[in-house]
Structure 1
Amino acid sequence: MEKLSAIDLMSLSMQIEMQKMETATYNLSIINQSFGDRLSVPHAQKVDVANLPTIHDVVAGVLPQDVQVNSQDDGNVVGRVVSYENGKPVIEYQSDIKIEAQMISLNEATRAYEASLRLFNINKEMSSKILQIGSKR
């Protein structure tokens, strides 16, 4: 186990939220795409975080060394869409991803990332002030 600093915690938080933003953006990018067969439809992704430090670890300043942040298949349903070209039905397949859920996820991740960034900047300012105070003595 290594010591957990405030910088490490903010960096970890920003990495997780950045991965969530990228995943939601990917999911949004495949919403309106149609495919000729069911197997070609890309699956929606979700973020899985393993071994995230508990509040007790944070208070004690201990960080598990193997925190893992991964994107993995969300197991979304594939929907079938029937359109007509020249009066003939054409069957296409789409990923059944809810745009509302993805927008909420993207918004939450963006706000959490911004909050972590603000904490990082506040910590930087406080460290700078401490150095200024220390240099005046």
Structure 2
Amino acid sequence: MRAMLRSLLARLRRRQRGPRERVRDYAPAGAAVYLGTMGEVEVEEALKPLLPLSAASPLLVVLIGRTWRGRVVVREGKIVAAELEGVDEGSALKRIRRARGPALVMAFPARALQQSSGSGDLPSSP
């Protein structure tokens, strides 16, 4: 019983510490600001040149490898959300950090999507 409670508490703590943002919360806000490739390095190493660009506005980074596809949101020099095709959201960040190249890397300025109010009303025109 105690072991089960401990594992439940550990799961809850991991969820609290995990990224609260999702890649789906962001949309491209313009043309690509970076297009390149990454070699046989980990994704975090390949994203280092993009970190200064993410200081002004978030970046939506699309990564296309031979056998995998992922999207990452980088804001203020940190990966805040990750999505890896075929992987659940909870472990996507961990797995995408370990993903290795070669891959195509495209970075777009991103904007946060507004959360819907849930009322279903259309905005009034001015």
Under a length normalisation based on structure 1, what TM-score does the superposition of the two structures give? 0.25
Name whichever structure is richer in strand by fraction. 2
> For the pair shown, which has the larger CA radius of gyration, 1 or 2?
1
Under a length normalisation based on structure 2, what TM-score does the superposition of the two structures give? 0.27
